[in-house]
Amino acid sequence: MSGVLYLAWRYLLWHRFKTAILVLAVTLVIYLPVGLQLVVQRTAADMTARADSSPLLLGSRGSPLELVLNSLYFSAGSPPSLDYGQLQELRDSGLVEPIPLYVRFHSAGHPIVGTNLDYFDFRGLELSRGRQMVGLGEAVVGSRVAQQLDVGAGDAVVSSPESVFDLAGVYPLKMWVVGVLAPAFSEDDNAIFVDIKTAWIIQGLGHGHQDLARPEAAAAVLKKDGERIVANAALVQYNEITPDNSDTFHFHGDNDSNPLTAILPVPHNDKAQVLILGRYQSHPELQIVQPRLVMDELLATVFAVQRYVLVAMVLVGIATGAVVLLVFLLSLRARRAEMDTMSRLGGSAIAIGSLMLAEVALVLLASALLAATLTGATLILGGPLLQAVVTQ
């Protein structure tokens, strides 16, 4: 048998172009449906796990899917905002521990998640390097962010402006990385976490500037009327929070009216969950959703599309199989003289008959190995890619 395999191997190698095409065709026939199935299943499992771990979400009335995608998967496109004051109302209910989320800004393509320290405990996120954020302007980054941006404790990240033309609005804020999270194998690995107040500073709701009452700021004073001071454009506003200027940072007005994109209410128990659901079910301005149900709906659509694609792939696979079979049959006919020679030389009928089968087997083996490799690579890379497609 080894002789036959050797001959089959030499034949395939000799006709390497034909062999490559055959292997590629069979690989695709195997890989595409299998790979698609695995990727969809894996993605669905990951997204479902994420949704399962987040029992409830509270947001402004609008698209539940947009709320879930932005809050759990940090997709671009923020839902309508709700007031920070809702957080205390939820806390006062005694039913949940609410966690604020403000996912609107980005830095070098990574989402900036404004939240509080409760988020880390809720998600079980641990630090691998550095420390937890303490003050305004500090950030803790996910493991993939650290890897891709090559940042660690002591490095800086800068928020991206929302629009080049919106000079008076969201402007870049330089934030100092103080810690790197251990891999969580979730969207949290791709995120930059800041305190919710830092996110508001990015938005321009809070800022730090020279003390206008001090002599050094005289150039920035437009006019002074008793205790009222109006500043001019020369006022130096800080785009970076440092230990030297952190105490100048402040917010205007009541923080309760500052925006959030969502609140993660963590119920104390099942009964509390039911009660809080009932309380907000018919709220005129807010919506409370169960992420798992929303994701099930989305994934049902994905599965439906997948079924159609699989049917198409099976049909293509059958056609490809027929073509491959034709190629082998034509090859068999073309090699009849060769078979005849071997027969006349005294080659065993089994050996000669096995030669074509050995070639088929080698092609199938190579295809299977290549398909397995592609499937493995797809599982690693395709899951996040598909999830990005689904969530964006």
Partner 1 sequence: MRKLLVITVLLLAGCGVEGEVPSTEAVGTGVPVIYTVNYPLAWMAQQLLADTAEVVFPAPANVDPAFWQPDTDTVLRYQQADLVLLNGAGYASWVARVSLPGRTLIDTSGAYPEQLLTVPAGPSHSHGPGGQHSHGELAFTTWLDLGLARQQSQAVSVAAQRLLPSQATAIEQRLAELQRMLTVMDERLMALGRQLGERPLLYSHPVYQYLQRRYQLNGRALHWEPDQVPDEAQWSHLQGILQSHPAQIMLWEAQPLPEVQVRLDELGIKTVVFSPMGNRPPSGDFASGMAANIERLEQ
Partner 2 sequence: MIEITDLLFKYSGSDFALQVKRLVIDSAEAVAVVGPSGSGKTTLLNLLAGVLLPDEGQVRVGTQQVSTLHDAARRDFRIKQLGMVFQNFELLEYLSVLDNILLPLRIGAGLKVNKAARVRARDLAGHVGIADKLQRYPGQLSQGERQRVAVSRALLLQPSLILADEPTGNLDPSNKTLVLDLLLDYARTHAATLVTVTHDRELLQRFDRVVDFSELNQWQGVT
- Contact residues toward partner 2 (CB under 8 A) are 2-4, 6-7, 10-11, 13-15, 337-338, 341-352
Nearer to partner 2, 171 or 328 (CB): 328
Nearer to partner 2, 13 or 45 (CB): 13
Q: Among partner 1, partner 2, none, what binds residue 13 when CB lies within 5 to 8 Å by partner kind?
A: partner 2
Q: Among partner 2, partner 1, none, what binds residue 338 when CB lies within 5 to 8 Å by partner kind?
A: partner 2
Instruction: Name the one residue in this structure whose structure tokens are 């839902």.
Output: 79
- Per CB under 8 A, the list member of 250, 271, 283, 307 interacting with partner 1 is 250
d(CA 262, CA 278): 18
d(CA 89, CA 75): 27
Q: How many residues bind partner 1 (CB under 8 A)?
A: 37
What residues numbered 103-162 form the site for partner 1, per CB under 8 A? 116-118, 121, 131-136, 138
Instruction: Name the one residue in this structure whose structure tokens are 């919106």.
Output: 166
Nearer to partner 1, 28 or 266 (CB): 266
d(CA 129, CA 200): 26
Q: Which residues contact 92 (CB under 8 A, 6 or more apart)?
A: none
Query: Considering Cα of 185, then 186, then 188, then 190, what sign does the dihedral take?
Result: positive
Instruction: Name the one residue in this structure whose structure tokens are 């629009």.
Output: 163
The residues pairing with 157 across neighbouring beta strands, listed in sequence order, are 175
Tell the smallest beta-carbon distance from residue 345 to partner 2 (Å). Answer: 6
d(CA 81, CA 91): 19
Nearer to partner 2, 4 or 386 (CB): 4
84 is an interface residue for partner 1 by CB under 8 A? no
Nearer to partner 1, 241 or 313 (CB): 241
Taking the mean position of all CA atoms in its chain, how far away is CA 324?
39
Tell the smallest beta-carbon distance from residue 341 to partner 2 (Å). Answer: 4
Tell the smallest beta-carbon distance from residue 210 to partner 1 (Å). Answer: 10
Nearer to partner 2, 164 or 337 (CB): 337
d(CA 338, CA 7): 12
Residue closest to 390 by CA, chosen among 37, 44, 96, 98: 44
181 is an interface residue for partner 1 by CB under 8 A? no
Residue closest to 392 by CA, chosen among 75, 97, 92, 20: 75
d(CA 275, CA 97): 14
Tell the smallest beta-carbon distance from residue 97 to partner 1 (Å). Answer: 5
Q: Which stretch binds partner 1 (CB under 8 A): 41-49, 144-152, 209-217, 358-366?
A: 209-217
Nearer to partner 2, 311 or 350 (CB): 350
By the 8 A CB rule, do 162 and 185 touch? no
- The residues of the shown chain that bind partner 1, judged by CB under 8 A, are 87-88, 91, 97-100, 116-118, 121, 131-136, 138, 168, 195, 197, 209, 212-213, 227-231, 235, 246-247, 249-253
